[in-house]
Amino acid sequence: MNNTSIKDWVANIVKPEQIKKYMENGRDFINEDRINDLLQSKKQPDKNEVREVIAKSLELNRLELEETAVLLNCTDEEIWQEMYEVGLKIKQKVYGRRIVIFAPLYISNHCVNSCVYCGYRKENKDSVRYQLNMNELQKEIEALVSKGHKRLILVYGEHPSSDVHYIADTLKVAYETKLDNGEIRRCNINAAPMSIEDLEILKEVGIGTFQVFQETYHHQTYRRLHPRGIKADYHWRLYALHRSMEAGVDDVGIGALFGLYDWKFEVMGLLSHAIDLEKHFGGVGPHTISFPRLEPAVNTPFIEKTSYKVNDDIFKKLVTVIRLAVPYTGMILTARENAAVRREVIQVGCTQIDAGSNIAIGGYSKGDPVHNRQQFILGDNRSLDETIRDLADIGYITSFCTAGYRCGRTGNYFMDIAKQGKVHNLCMPNAILTFKEYLKDYASAETREIGERLIAKEISALPNEPVKAKVEKFLQQIDAGDRDLYL
């Protein structure tokens, strides 16, 4: 594709009318003055004030910005310990003792943007560009399925060669590829913001969650770090998930890249985003929230210059506050973080992690992390089996459940039952069933042994006798060779 046709493509992406319709009096929902005022006025809150907010959260109520500012400004380590414990309690109350596992699959790294912190920025000559064709994609999917994966997040750079039609084709290949007992049952997408019309195309081919991360909610920082390309348009990105909801793709994932600007501001930005989605779409907020930290990338010195780097302690705190602020939303902790950090931070209320990840394009089938085809460097390189065993060791069932979006449990329905704290009644049984499948088909002997013990424990903990009986019957069917059984 020549430069002129790329320029033409870029010039026609943004649809201003699909931004303005969600704005109020020409203003977006990130009210920086208000966020800064709240963060200032709630400095050094007393213990009682913080505990009142924690109590509200424990009742599974979404917090307001004022209340979240109170938590963010807490300086008392004893209260932080309470918050960590409550974060875990909330997560167990809503979702049970299960962690959903997925794998990221990077498909194309051609990009028209110039994000100064990103290894894929178009000016980075040290980044080797590659885009999978459908045969190569099939090999990647087979490699993932052969390890036991059922859920993927497909990742694409923003470029005409990976436009919505290419993405739709890759989704079809991902769903159609089968290997022995295995298949991919849910494909989420992390791609550039799209128009409502393009999102409708992805909806028709069965997209799972649509993720677009704002990176930073701070307007001026955003402008500075995204100087050119489509991504320079803050509002096109900010309302990407409003358009997704409008197009009927009603599971959406928001996120911020921590390390670009002040972490407290970004948490308030994420919450503002969740609140605005709820406001426009009948109480339905984001399905998931992601909170990646900036990581080193090939020929990308930005990370050495930023003064907003988030250390491990602050990272745990910010994840905890997000958990408390939006108690019923899924939270994704990725393998950017090393294994030790993940073990620690899972315990404050995360619901999903990736495992056995290889973010080099074509890396799964080659079994080799090709660093100059990666967007950044991974921190946790444990295999899927090791990760699952480690989770089982600390009492977590791995879930590959994909029942929700195949059973009409999306959007409003999911939010309603999540807000009532009822999702775990489905999550735990379905986690047990998909875990059993994994243990039968893919696990090492060591993981199988630990996993079977955990399944026995979790079955006995199921509170509802008819559900328990049904799960036991399904487990027998899985032993006999049936697959993809769910409630």
Partner 1 sequence: MSYKVRNITNSCHCSSGEELAKICNREILNSYPWLRLRWVRIHGHRWSYLFGNSNEICMNAKKIRLNEDYGIYIDNHESLDEQELGALIAALKRCFQ
Q: Which residues bind partner 1 (CB under 8 A)?
A: 175, 185-186, 203-208, 248, 250, 405-414, 416-417, 420, 422, 425-426, 429, 466-467, 470, 487
**Least Cβ distance, residue 150 to partner 1 (angstroms):** 12
Q: How far is CA 52 from CA 45, 71, 264, 327, in A?
A: 11, 10, 20, 15
**Least Cβ distance, residue 170 to partner 1 (angstroms):** 14
DSSP string, 177-214: -EETTEE--EEEEE-----HHHHHHHHHTT---EE---
**Least Cβ distance, residue 429 to partner 1 (angstroms):** 8
As a whole number of angstroms, the distance between CA 397 and CA 427 comes to 10
Whichever of 41 and 92 has its CB closer to partner 1, that residue is 92
Cα–Cα nearest to 388, from 363, 421, 354, 415: 354
As a whole number of angstroms, the distance between CA 479 and CA 157 comes to 42
As a whole number of angstroms, the distance between CA 298 and CA 32 comes to 33
**Least Cβ distance, residue 305 to partner 1 (angstroms):** 42
As a whole number of angstroms, the distance between CA 98 and CA 121 comes to 36
Whichever of 250 and 380 has its CB closer to partner 1, that residue is 250
**Least Cβ distance, residue 434 to partner 1 (angstroms):** 16
Cα–Cα nearest to 212, from 268, 273, 150, 128: 273
Whichever of 87 and 411 has its CB closer to partner 1, that residue is 411
Whichever of 371 and 468 has its CB closer to partner 1, that residue is 468
98-108 and 352-354: which strand pairing? Answer: parallel
Dmax of the chain from CA atoms?
Answer: 65
Whichever of 130 and 486 has its CB closer to partner 1, that residue is 486
Whichever of 215 and 250 has its CB closer to partner 1, that residue is 250
Whichever of 160 and 206 has its CB closer to partner 1, that residue is 206
**Least Cβ distance, residue 137 to partner 1 (angstroms):** 17
Neighbours of 296 (CB within 10 A): 12
Identify the three-state secondary structure at position 285.
Answer: coil
As a whole number of angstroms, the distance between CA 194 and CA 434 comes to 33
**Least Cβ distance, residue 243 to partner 1 (angstroms):** 16
